[in-house]
Each structure stands twice: as C-alpha cells, then as structure tokens.
A and B are shown apart, each in its own frame.
Chain A
C-alpha cells in the first residue's frame, strides 16, 4: 500500500522505531500491519515503542485511554494498532500539539 504526504514521513519514523525496538525487519512493516497480531509486539516492547514515539514527536500517546476504549468495547484494537491508523493517531496528536 502506498503511503502519502505527512503520513509517509510519520509512517517511516514509526516503522523505524518498531523495527529497531521490536527487532523486526523494516520491510515487513506495512501500513496494513497490526502491531500486535501481525508484528507480534508484546505489551512491554509496545511501551518502549510508545516511549520512542512520544520522544520523537514530542507528544504523549494516551495509551491508557486507548486500552480502556478497547477493553470497554468502545473501539476495536484496529483503530489504534494497525500501522496506518496508529500513524494517523500520531499525526492527530502532533496537530493538536501545534494548534
């Protein structure tokens, strides 16, 4: 899947973080990849990834809220953990910070 514009930049950065932290080949990470189901990132490694994303973009991913939403059935895990969606959420947080 092609990734365009700002998303391309975010996707590249997030995929690099995931490849580095999760020791996953970069080329295996696609916009359709589910970070947990496909890339098999466990919760501890995911915290490292969130930390790196927070630091890279100067944001604070609301992981507790996301987890609560999923556990309470308010959202599917796809909304937050499929790469293209994760990057869209990151872009939203970057935009909110700049506003």
Chain B
C-alpha cells in the first residue's frame, strides 16, 4: 500500500469470473504521512482508506469482468461497518464480489479481513463508463499488471 498515492491493492491473489469474485492482499505501511495526522502518537489506518481498498478491489473485479473496457467509479457506499482498528504493518485480505451487475452500474459486496476476522465490510456501488482518455487506461492496465491481475485473467 502507498496510502498517499491511493495505491491500496498490493497483489490480486485470486479472480473467479464464474463466481464474479476477487481476493487481494495488502500490507499497511509502517510509515506514511497519513499517520502523522491519523493519529499523532497512535497511528491507525483511516477507515475511509479501508473503504477505498474495498472500492479498488471492486473496481479491479468489474474491470476484469469487462475486459478492462470500462472505468468503474465509486458512487455510493452503503452499510459500511468498521469493526476494529487497523495498525501499521497489518497484513490485510480484501475480498470483493458482485451482488448485481446492472446496466451501467454494479452493486458489489466487499470486506477487509485482518488476522482472520473482519475489519471492515460494506456495499459498494459503482457506475461504469468508457475510459475518458488513453493515459488513464494505460495507467490502470499498468496497475493491474503490477498487482498480478492480468496474469490471473481467464
């Protein structure tokens, strides 16, 4: 993870197009400017960034299911629960799966696991649209490759 760059997914471990699900892992960094403010003397992973991690895992899944032809954008977070504090150097498993694939939008379920128990969960809604430019598409493809997602594609 590189929190200040919103890079929340280190590696995609599994992708199932049949079950429309994805599993990723990430390690919270030991140091980050984010922890200077959140919180001084008691560094904790901000809950909104755990939600962002779920959104990015959901986004990777939607893109993989659509051959990277569509850009997913977060439009709503429902029923989010942040169940326990997540500290620097924590190893996280992020899971996302499709609840409903609508026309131009997807409803996703996601959770973050830490030490085998749920740290965060929520329902993520994303709308999909064509990539606005080639630069962003290239960047996304590089990120997907770096995370190992392209090697998992079937």
Contact = CB atoms under 8 A, between A and B. Distances in A.
Interface of A: 44, 47-48, 50-51, 54-55, 60-65, 67
B132 interface: no
Chief secondary structure at chain B's binding surface: strand
A47 B100 contact: no
Contacts of A47: 75, 102, 105, 125, 127
A44 B105 CA distance: 10
A51 B103 contact: no
Contacts of A60: 101-103
Interface in B54-93: 75-76
Contacts of B44: none
Contacts of B103: 50, 60-65
B76 A51 contact: no
Contacts, number: 34
Given A47-B125, A47-B127, A64 B75 contact: no
B111 to A, nearest CB: 20
Nearest to B101: A60
Contact of B102 (A63, A65, A67): A63
A32 to B, nearest CB: 25
B116 interface: no
A51 B75 CA distance: 13
User: Which 6 A/B pairs are nearest by Cβ-Cβ distance?
Assistant: A64-B104, A63-B103, A64-B103, A62-B103, A47-B105, A63-B104
B147 interface: no
B100 A51 contact: yes
Interface in B102-151: 102-105, 107, 125, 127
A53 to B, nearest CB: 10
Contacts of A65: 103
Contacts of A61: 102-103
B98 to A, nearest CB: 12
A51 B107 CA distance: 8
17 contacts: A47-B75, A47-B105, A48-B76, A48-B125, A50-B103, A51-B100, A51-B102, A51-B105, A54-B100, A54-B102, A60-B103, A61-B103, A62-B103, A63-B102, A63-B104, A63-B105, A64-B103
